[in-house]
Amino acid sequence: QQPVQSPQAVILREGEDAVINCSSSKALYSVHWYRQKHGEAPVFLMILLKGGEQKGHEKISASFNEKKQQSSLYLTASQLSYSGTYFCGTESRSNSGYALNFGKGTSLLVTP
Amino acid sequence: EADIYQTPRYLVIGTGKKITLECSQTMGHDKMYWYQQDPGMELHLIHYSYGVNSTEKGDLSSESTVSRIRTEHFPLTLESARPSHTSQYLCASSADVASGRNEQFFGPGTRLTVL
C-alpha cells in the first residue's frame, strides 16, 4: 500500500522551515526518508525503526508516530542545497524485510 | 560512499531491439531492486531479489525480466523494447534487514529512450 505524502510541493525562502508528512493505512515497522535532486539518484537521509523515534541530521530531523502510522520530516532553517524531491518509503509489519513502498514524493524548492 | 554501478547511463534504441541494463554492487548486499521512474514522478518497483536465484515481480507490471546468478550482479532485460518503455531505470541494493541497517543505496540510473 503506497504511503501518502503531503504537501505535493512547497516553495521556501532560504532560512524558512518546512514539514513533510507521510502517512500509511497499514501498521508500520519502519519509515525511510530519501532526497532526490534533479537528474540524480535518490539519496538516503534517515530511517526510523520504532514508534516515537526521532532522528536528525544537521538541521533535518524526522519523527515516527507508530500509533498514527505516520512520519514527518522537519527541515529547519532551510538551505539552497535542500531543494529536491523528498520520498518516504514505508515497511509494514506484514511485509517486514520486504521491499519498501514509496510515496509519490514532495517537491521542495528553496529560493534565495 | 555507496558502490553501486549501472551501465549504460544513457541508451537510445529502436523499437523491437533486445536490451540488457546492467547493475552491479560491491557492498555484498543480499537485496537488490529495480525501479522505473519518469521525470519528476514517483518510484515504481518493478523487480526485486533477496539473494542469489531469488527474484520477484514488484508492484508495477513490467515486460522486463531479471536474473540473480551472482550476489553482486542484477541485470534487467527487455526482450523487445517499445516506446512505452522509455523511462529512467534505477537499481538499488540494501543489506539484510537483520543487520538493522536496510537503507537502500541507489545507482546513478539508466535513461532509456525507445524510438
- Supply A73's cell numbers: 520530516
Structural contact between residues B60 and B36, judged by C-beta atoms closer than 8 angstroms: yes
Choose the mutation target among B25, B57, B103 for the interface with A, i.e. most A CBs under 10 Å. B103
What's the CATH code of the domain at A51? Answer: 2.60.40.10
| Grid coordinates given for B109 | 540510473
pLDDT-derived band at B100, boundaries 50, 70, 90: low
Whether B91 shows a pLDDT value over 80: the answer reads yes
- Sorting pLDDT into bands at 50, 70 and 90, what band is B98? low
Domain enclosing residue A41, as ranges: 4-111
CB-CB under 8 Å, B41 with A99: no
Ordered structural domains, chain B, with CATH: 4-114 (2.60.40.10)
Angle in degrees, CA B58, B60, B66, rounded to 5: 50
- Are the beta carbons of B42 and A104 separated by less than 8 Å? yes
The average confidence (pLDDT) of chain B is: 91
Q: How many domains does chain A have?
A: 1
Residue B55: how many CB atoms within 10 A of its CB? 16
- Tell me, what's the pLDDT at A29? 81
Of A15, A70, A68, A26, the C-alpha closest to A48 is A70
- Give the pLDDT of chain A (112 residues) as one tens digit per residue: 789 999 999 999 999 999 999 999 988 888 999 999 998 999 999 888 866 666 666 789 999 888 888 999 999 999 999 999 999 998 876 555 567 889 999 999 999 9
Q: B99 versus A57: which is more confidently predicted?
A: A57
Q: What pLDDT is attached to residue B99?
A: 53
Residue of B nearest to A9 (CA): B40
Q: Closest residue of B to A3, CA-based?
A: B42
Name which of A43, A49, A102 is nearest B43 (Cβ-Cβ). A102
Q: What pLDDT digit, counting tens, does each position of B19-43 carry?
A: 999 999 999 998 999 999 998 889 9
Q: How far apart are CA B13 and CA A13, in angstroms?
A: 42
The pLDDT assigned to A59 comes to 84
